[in-house]
Each structure stands twice: as structure tokens, then as C-alpha cells.
Amino acid sequence: MTDPTGRKSDKVFELKRAQTAWCLYDWANSAFATVILAAVLPVYFATLVPEGGGEISLFGWEHRLPATALWGYTISLSMLFVALSAPYLGAWADSRRNRKRALLVSCLIGALATALLALADDNRYLLAAGLFIIANIGFATGNIYYNSFLPALAERDELDRLSAKGFAFGYIGGGVALLLSFLIIEQYQILAFPDRGAATLFSFILTGCWWLGFAIPAFRRIQEDIFIHRPQPMQHGLRSYFKTFTRIMHYPHLFRFLLAFLFYNDGIQTIIAVSALFASAELGLSQTSVLGCYLMIQFIAMPGALVFAKLSAKIGAKNAIICSIGMFIGVTVYAFYMDTAVEFWILGFVVALILGGSQAISRSMFAAMIPPGESAEFFGFYAVSGKFASIFGPLVFAVIADITGSARLSILALSGFFIVGLILLATVDVKSGICQAEKQKTG
């Protein structure tokens, strides 16, 4: 006969392993975030685009775009695809009762497209843009399924800790992957690559393999029978998305926080996506300087995420996020005026301190105000709304860069997203939001 205590301890052990594996997926896909989305590909993409701009031809309409604008439009287009398809992808996963398999499919698509970026040599900037769009769709849709597991793997009072731990794993993993890419590119001669370009292309293959390889524990360890709470069905198409929207409006503080998050997170994601290209195209910084700064960001952001979790425990999640938004407004203003590599490194240090913590605490704060039993539905809405919102930051950046020919005003314009987010967040009462969720539980 099996000892009930033994069965309980076995389940606790399996839960801990599942939580670690969940965090390890962040380690895996953060290689894409650092190497492809943030640091290496944007700088390499700028070298593919001709000096006079990339030529875009559509239905007889022709236009030349600078690399900064073309990159911004590429990011916006990928987010548009994700936003439109995510509700249906959620329905597809639930119809087969295995969102873990959906996460695996997203991972496979993203990792393969990432590795295939190695084919984008010479002036193949359109091929690079197309493969990036596919890879970013895999990355973003995978994160929808990944985030939906958070409320199922931890109790409400453990959400901050597990969320921050996941981000910490991500920053370490992404940092190590970026470090390896940096060493490959800088030491290309020792490694028998003909030039930096060839070494850069190899780093894309490495990134795809890293993502897929380190994701394997998540596919093995996250099992339905060890969840604290069973994940609920996700979005079933756009009709369900708008139905959830009307339900969220019944929770005013949760709704206001969601609106605030959509604005300030769009600003954050845009800064992550365009900073390397801005440094290369606008400031004329070398690839070595840009990659070195991003390495510093990764390894400072990891402890920064954990420090933010402690700061949140002391002053409250809302106040911690407000502090980070205020600092991001300062970042956009500072970026408008900076001219040197030293100034870029100072900017990177500030971003590193606030980046991970602001995102981790936002995710767990949203989770804390979700009514019990509705986490997947609301997280699905949270994820899809985030993808819709993520269209506009890069789009604003691209349009302004396209019109003015300079990315400085584009960076400064991002402060508007943070200001609106800050104003909306100030109206949120977190305690009332949690009470509204608890009333649903008892009601």
C-alpha cells in the first residue's frame, strides 16, 4: 500500500521539477530574444540593407525605406499576424486538450526559422525579414502557452516568486547564448570563419539549436496531473476574445491595469527591439560595442528581476511598476540626446536594472487580480491584447523614422506610451482588484 504522505511528497517533488522546467523554457527561448530580436540580427540586418534604403515594391507601388524603418515595419507585421491568429491557435490547442503540444509546435517553427536565418547573406534583407517574421510568430505564440501555465503551477502568494524566477532564468540563458554568439563573432578567425558575417550567420544556427534543445525539459516535465490548478480553456477565436473583453470590464481595476500594461509594455518591447539598430544606424557604434552593452544588460537584468521582486514585497507591486515606468520615460529622453558609446552603455545599465523586474511583476500582478478558475481565459486575453498593442510601438517608430530619416524622434515618441500607461496605472487599486476576484470565488 502506498503511503499517502509519500504520494504527497512525490507530487510536491514533481511540481518543483515542473516549475524548474517551466523556468528553463524561459532560458531556452530567451536566446531568440537576445540574439535575434534585440542584439545581433538588428545590427546584421542594417548591413544587408543598401545605403540608400531597402526597396519595397507592392502592387506597383515602390518605396525605399531606411534600415530603422524597415526593421520597425517588420516587427509590427509579425505582431499583427500573431494577434490575429493567437485566439484560433488557442482554440486549436484546447480542441486537442494539449497546449503543451502547441507550445512544442510553436517552438519548432520558431527555432527552425531562426536557424534558417543563416541563409540570409549578401543583400537578402527581404529573406531575413520574412524568416524573422516566422520566427517571431513562433516565439510570441509560444509565450502565450508558456504564460498560461503560470497560474497552474503556483498558488496566488507564490506567483511573484515563480514569475521573477522565470525571468531570472531567461536573463541568464539569454545572456549566455549572447555571450557565445559574441565570442564566435569576435573570434571568427580563430574559429576558421572567413569573416564576421559568416560567424554571425552561424550564431543564428546556434540560437535555433539552443532554443529547441533547452526547451526539451519543459515538454517532458510539465504534466497535467501535477498542476495545482488545472489550466482552463484558452481563447476560441475573435468572438470569444471580445466576449472575454466584456467580462474583464466587470472587474474595473483589472481592466484599468490591463490598459495601462498594454501602453507601457508596448514601449518596453519597442525599446528592446530597436535599441541595437538605433545604436548602429544612428550613433554609428560598432557591432562589438553594441553586443558588449547587451551582454552587460543581460547579466545585470537577472539580479535586477530578483531585486524587483523584493522591492515589490516592500512597497507593493503597483509602486514598483510606477518607479520603473518613470525611469523608462527618462530613458527615452536621454536616448534622444545621446551621441557616444559611453552614453549608450550608461543607458543600457539603467534599462538592465528595471527591465526584467517590471515585466515579471506586471505578469504576477495581473495574475493576482484574475478570478479563480478563469486564469487561462483572462491570460489568453492578456496575451492576445499584448500582441495587438505591440503592433503600434514599432509602427510609430518606423513611420517617424521613415518620414524624418532619423530614429531620434522615434525613440522620443515612445515616451508617450509610458506616460499614458503611468496615468492609467495610477487609477488602479490593487487590493480592490484582488477583492473583486475573491468575491467571484465566494459568490
Average pLDDT for 307-312: 78
Residue 144 lies in a domain: yes
45, pLDDT greater than 90? yes
Q: What is the CATH number of the domain that holds 106?
A: 1.20.1250.20
Q: What is the pLDDT of residues 263-303, one digit of tens each?
A: 998 998 899 888 888 898 888 888 888 888 988 887 787 77
Three-state DSSP class for residue 373: coil
Between CA 338 and CA 414 the distance in angstroms is 16
Residue 8 lies in a domain: no
Which CA distances in Å does 308 have to 78, 161, 355?
30, 10, 10
Cell, residue 96: 486537442
Task: Give the residue with greater pLDDT, 200 vs 366.
Answer: 200
User: Which pLDDT belongs to residue 60?
Assistant: 65
Give how many domains the chain has, as a whole number: 1
Q: What is the pLDDT of residues 417-427, one digit of tens each?
A: 999 999 999 99
pTM of full prediction above 0.85: no
Residue 226 lies in a domain: yes
Average pLDDT for 31-39: 92
User: Which pLDDT belongs to residue 118?
Assistant: 96
Between CA 110 and CA 100 the distance in angstroms is 15
Residue 1 lies in a domain: no
User: Which pLDDT belongs to residue 1?
Assistant: 45
Residue 382 lies in a domain: yes
Residue 429 lies in a domain: yes
pLDDT band for position 359 (50/70/90)? confident
Range of the domain at 172: 13-442
Q: Which of 211-220, 225-234, 287-296, 373-382 has the lowest mean pLDDT?
A: 225-234
Residue 248 lies in a domain: yes
Residue 6 lies in a domain: no
Q: What is the pLDDT of residues 116-172, one digit of tens each?
A: 999 998 889 999 999 999 999 899 888 878 877 877 787 766 766 787 788 778 878
Task: Give the residue with greater pLDDT, 248 vs 346.
Answer: 346
Phi, psi of 307 (to 5 degrees): -65, -40
Which CA distances in Å does 15 have to 101, 154, 217, 222, 229?
19, 9, 13, 8, 12
Cell, residue 223: 504534466
Count Cβ atoms within 10 A of the Cβ of residue 245 and give its class: 0-12 exposed, 13-18 middle, 19 or more buried.
Answer: middle
